[in-house]
Amino acid sequence: MHDAKDISLTSSNPCMSDWLSSMQTTEHDSALLPPHHGDCLGCGPANPHGHHLRAYRHGDGVVAGHVFDGRHVGAPGIAHGGAVATVLDDLFGFVLYVVGELAVTRKLEVDYLAPVLLQTEYTLHAQMLSRNGRKLRLRARVEDQNGRVVATADALFIVVGPAHFTSRAPVIQARR
């Protein structure tokens, strides 16, 4: 985790400071984890176009329920693959609460094993598989009401400092 002095970089922006503090806290009052921020596309309650995902701490990972609706349509009756990927990426963001680190998505790979249907309740699970320095390897799955896995995802997240989010011109490092 990063030092409190790193968060002081955002003292001119209280919303950013509150968000960074929340993201770096592994202790929460309940199993329900807070949204990343109000306007987050995946979980923000104030985003009218968002998924409004609600995730819960579950062991060393997270779990959430989700229903894709008409805003997420790809083919008729089926959720758009990008909408599914968005929800999975956001679910990985909740794993960061459990890990207690700020990190960003470097790579996201989704395997669609069956159509993800609209107006159907799904259960999503995610956890960290391993850590190697700043690299976090994460895995998720989407299960239908019968426990059948309809999609899986593997991701590589990179731990970053608060300056990554406060800088107006983020630096992209070459792959190693």
Alpha-carbon span 24 to 48, nearest angstrom:
26
Q: Name the nearest CA neighbour of 99 among 155, 44, 148, 146.
A: 155
Q: Average pLDDT for consecutive 10-residue bins of the chain (176 residues)?
A: 45 56 57 86 86 92 96 95 96 92 95 98 98 97 98 97 71 51
Residue 38 falls within a domain, yes or no? yes
What's the confidence (pLDDT) of residue 26? 53
Determine the structural domain holding residue 112 and report its residue range: 4-166
What's the confidence (pLDDT) of residue 14? 53
Residue 45 falls within a domain, yes or no? yes
What's the confidence (pLDDT) of residue 166? 74
CATH number of the domain encompassing residue 148:
3.10.129.10
Say how many domains are in the chain.
1
What's the confidence (pLDDT) of residue 81? 96
3-state secondary structure of 60: coil
What's the confidence (pLDDT) of residue 176? 47
What's the confidence (pLDDT) of residue 4? 42
Residue 143 falls within a domain, yes or no? yes
Residue 176 falls within a domain, yes or no? no
State the DSSP code for 34. Answer: P
3-state secondary structure of 65: strand
What's the confidence (pLDDT) of residue 3? 46
Residue 44 falls within a domain, yes or no? yes
